[in-house]
Chain A
């Protein structure tokens, strides 16, 4: 009897602690969901700005086009006989104007994406990338609004025939992927936040079960131990947003046959992420942070001459390294997997069919291994990015201790 009573008391106690526990998480998650939308908008806006920076000048005259065409044709002829790993790998990791599923350009299957151009003084052009057509490598399309003729060439990118300068703000593969991820994350995390109000005090169910450990991981293993219990909540929305965004885009890049998204491997995306980290840590920098930067305490004056420039340089270097680490890691992962694919063709071409088949078995095994490693890296890089961002925020809001 007593045991039963005990267990009943224990049970109610447990329920109560659980309820308060979930209340805490619930308020945290609703807050996160609110700020999440704003942060994603900022990130997306920034990414589009960076995309817009790649302004194209249509100053390539027809003569250069002809020579470039000739050069590419000879390259094309070579491709039929020779397998060039570079020409196979680079288009896969680069950004594109369509989502490529399978096959080559002429008899493959790919999903066109909208092209948006702004021609100075003339206005906007909006058409699908399937409008581009032509023979050989050079493809042309006419803008429906401004009448500008756009020329697309693998070597020069997109230029205009008449020499007008324009801004390319097309929805490319990466931008499309990011929009997809953001919609997915908003839906998933909103439904997760709602489930806490719908089922108060109960164990999580379904999707919440998957996401809650990740949210708690970012909070309890990254934000709180590094930034401190009181200040962590201020930075948590950003840390959670970047963590989920990076994890989701890394995982999207690992799904085969859907175009090989390389979102976090695109430098424009990580530039914005790193700039956000830099901006937040600079804005939140307190007296101690700037003091340590420009007048480090306990350092002899002469040494300060040496230390201060290094420290100031380091302030800009930190986000740069953050940016390069993520880009290089994700791009390297894609290149390794694609290199194993290329090895099959290289062996087939250079050492005969038997070697090709043998290499096929070998590479498939290695590719599976690399895929599992990349799954780990997808989470690891998101963890490292969030961890380092948290460390920089903790640096900026440090308390004087000496």
Chain B
């Protein structure tokens, strides 16, 4: 019964927007996680190139994050608009 109420609230209110924000966060999480993993592995292999790698890691993470933020902006528009 609780679950049904929650589902009902999701479909009637702005719950779908919240779900959308969650999905956007999942995508960004996977993306940033992969970037961090790859950067850490590369740094462990070649510690001398850490500085270059760090700058590029932040850049790639920012690009991935940008896509997720698109999703979040749309969710915000749904809730506020």
Contact = CB atoms under 8 A, between A and B. Distances in A.
Q: Most chain-A Cβ atoms within 10 A of its Cβ — which of B59, B62, B72?
A: B62
Interface in A255-309: none
Interface string B62-78: 10011001101100100
Q: Most chain-B Cβ atoms within 10 A of its Cβ — which of A86, A331, A332, A383?
A: A332
Interface in B22-81: 55, 58-59, 62, 65-66, 69-70, 72-73, 76, 79-80
Contacts of A384: 58-59, 62
B66 to A, nearest CB: 4
Nearest to B21: A332
Nearest to B52: A225
A348 interface: no
B73 A328 contact: yes
Given A324-B69, A324-B70, A325-B69, A380 B79 contact: no
A361 interface: no
Contact of A388 (B62, B70, B72, B76): B62
Contact of A86 (B58, B69, B73, B79): B79
Contact of B66 (A221, A321, A331, A332): A321
A332 B72 contact: yes
A253 B51 CA distance: 30
A18 to B, nearest CB: 24
Interface residues of B, number: 13
Contact of A325 (B65, B76, B79, B80): B65
Contacts of B66: 321, 324-325
Q: Most chain-A Cβ atoms within 10 A of its Cβ — which of B59, B69, B72?
A: B69
B72 A383 contact: no
Contacts of A324: 66, 69-70, 73
A150 B18 CA distance: 37
Contacts of B65: 325, 329
Given A328-B73, A329-B65, A332-B69, A383 B79 contact: no
A380 B70 contact: no
Given A325-B65, A384-B62, A221 B55 contact: yes
B69 A329 contact: yes
Interface in A367-388: 380, 383-384, 387-388
Contacts of B59: 384, 387-388
B58 A383 contact: yes
A387 B55 contact: yes
A384 B66 CA distance: 11
B43 to A, nearest CB: 17
A216 interface: no
A325 B73 contact: no
A321 to B, nearest CB: 5
Contacts of B62: 325, 380, 384, 387-388
A370 to B, nearest CB: 15
Contacts of B70: 324, 328
A329 B70 CA distance: 10
B68 to A, nearest CB: 9
Contacts of A383: 58
A90 interface: yes
Interface of A: 86, 90, 221, 321, 324-325, 327-329, 331-332, 380, 383-384, 387-388
Interface of B: 55, 58-59, 62, 65-66, 69-70, 72-73, 76, 79-80
30 contacts: A86-B79, A86-B80, A90-B80, A221-B55, A321-B66, A324-B66, A324-B69, A324-B70, A324-B73, A325-B62, A325-B66, A325-B69, A327-B73, A328-B69, A328-B70, A328-B72, A329-B65, A329-B69, A331-B76, A332-B69, A380-B62, A383-B58, A384-B58, A384-B59, A384-B62, A387-B55, A387-B58, A387-B62, A388-B59, A388-B62
